[in-house]
Amino acid sequence: MFHRMRRSIGLALARYLSAPMASYRPLTTSAAPTLAAALQPGDVLLVEGNTRVSGVIKYLTQSTWSHAALYVGDVFDECDKGDDARVLIEADMVNGVWAVPLSRYASFHTRICRPAALKHEDRQRLVTYAISRVGHAYDMKNMIDLARYFMPLPPMPMRWGRRMLAFGSGDPTKAICSSLIAQAFHSVGYPILPPKRRRSSGPDAVEHNREILYIRHYSVYTPRDFDISPYFSVVKPTLERGFTYRSSRIAEAPVPSAVRRAHRGDEFESVLQPEDEQLAYSREL
């Protein structure tokens, strides 16, 4: 009885936290075919999410990225191909660990982080490990931890800031998006962040150094850590495809009249136009 009630409350909370925000405006920096062509098995796809919980994660981590998925390639034996092929493994609040198509994030701002010099056999082990986790549940403790940030909280000392990033409970059968991927990389001995940093000195040194060591457990990694990692390279899909600025549409586009008018006056006017002129500006482009 208690287990069913807790599960019902957890699912209701998950649906609330994962609901999209109406104010979100996606910024797609790579076309879906270009993004698909650039990805390789073992790549980490970071996503700027559009849900309620995404805003909390971005605020707590001071980062653009609120979600991460692991690209495993077309390894699932199924009828779905093309845009419907399940090529990403991620941890979802409602569905747990599952495989999803790349088209799920076709309209989102994304970034590819690629592990450098990862051997082929370790790449295969990494993918196999992630696939074996499909079907595991989402971390309920993490969900409750994130939900509390929607409620007013008393001011906290800054030295507790790193502890606030400690998502997850460390239970290997319950995963969140970034800890699932971190655990997969740890399974093949691949690092995400350096094991040691310069130790702090001063009145808060002991607490700070303890947090540095604590944050290295796979259950407390965040999507931002893959972006700042010295062991992952950032892959630009447009550059991978082959980019020449002379063939860019931007280089050939005429100068909008709004900008020309700004330069004709005695004093330079602001390029930031009122809302109606911004609309005309975008149409001219």
Q: What is the mean pLDDT of residues 213-228?
A: 74
- Tell me what pLDDT residue 230 has: 94
- Tell me what pLDDT residue 274 has: 45
Mean predicted lDDT score pLDDT of the chain: 75
Flag whether pLDDT at 206 surpasses 60: no
Portion of the chain with pLDDT greater than 90, in percent: 35
Q: What confidence tens digit (pLDDT) does each residue in 110-166 have?
A: 999 999 999 999 999 999 999 999 999 877 666 666 666 655 555 555 445 445 545
Considering only residues 147 and 58, tell me which one the structure prediction assigns the higher pLDDT.
58
Considering only residues 283 and 38, tell me which one the structure prediction assigns the higher pLDDT.
38
Q: What is the mean pLDDT of residues 198-222?
A: 57
> Tokens 């303890």 appear where?
210
Q: Is the pTM of this model over 0.85?
A: no
> Tokens 């034996």 appear where?
77
Flag whether pLDDT at 97 surpasses 80: yes
Flag whether pLDDT at 205 surpasses 60: no
Please report the domains of the chain, with CATH numbers, ordered by start residue.
2-241 (3.90.1720.10), 246-284 (no CATH)
CB-CB contact of 17 with 143 (8 Å):
yes
- Tell me what pLDDT residue 225 has: 93
